[in-house]
Amino acid sequence: MRKKVGLILLVWVGLLSACTTPGESTHVTRANQDFELGDIAKTDINLVIEAHHREALGYLRLLALKLYQFNPRQWEKSGSHSAQASVDRMFNSRHNWNFSELEGATGADAIHLSLDESFQGDRVLAFTVGLGSMIIASYEGKYDFFVIDSLDAQKLNNSARNLEIAAWKLYRSHDPEGNPLIQTGGSGNTTQNLSFERLFGKIIAVQDLMSKIVAQKTKRGVKSAIQFLMFLPI
């Protein structure tokens, strides 16, 4: 078992190293985490899960910051003094992704809200909350994992597919005048900024790989679904 997990770790590290580009690092790798007493109650697979968990949220944090940089009016709606402050508010505290200005909307509801023409609030906040809450739900709402904890490979797979749908909706949502509801392009939105696609791709890759690891561990397959651009349950 340890040889198998060791091989998984090597593959995982190799994949993430290959897809990380200069200037885009989550800075949350296991190597720079201090040892905690609770780690004694964790197996190798628990540490693998936590590493994937941190990477997925780390890349989402980078995505949120980039979205704010392209859409500065959005963080101003939340009363923040900077894009970084808005991102820190989302990621530096455990709030169960529940924000009063979104009236508790999470998951698909928050994503739909962010791309609703009539919504007057912080669209980047709503979009990020939608993605973040989906990712956390795929990890059973946990941040730390121990021997007794287990994950569902199907939920992880569904979260990856939902990320693909969210990206598709983001790029194609416009107001009646044809302006993007959330800007992701260059001047006049005539060109698509590929850095957004790279970040989406990295989060999706992390979730897909974690799904495969869990499926192998539990000996349970993952079902494919016909989505029709509808979000899957997690």
pLDDT score for 218: 85
pLDDT band at 219 (very low <50, low <70, confident <90, very high): confident
Cα–Cα distance for residue pair 152/147, rounded to 1 Å: 15
Q: Is the pLDDT confidence value at 217 over 80?
A: yes
CB-based contact 64:82 (threshold 8 Å): no
pLDDT score for 67: 97
Task: For 35-47, write each residue's pLDDT tens digit.
Answer: 565 566 688 889 9
pLDDT score for 213: 95
Task: For 81-134, write each residue's pLDDT tens digit.
Answer: 999 999 999 999 878 899 999 999 999 999 999 999 999 999 999 999 999 999
Tokens standing for 192? 């698509």
CB-based contact 89:116 (threshold 8 Å): no
Q: At what angle do helices 123-138 and 44-70 cross, to 10 degrees?
A: 170
User: What does pLDDT average to over the chain?
Assistant: 85
Tokens 């949350």, residue located: 28
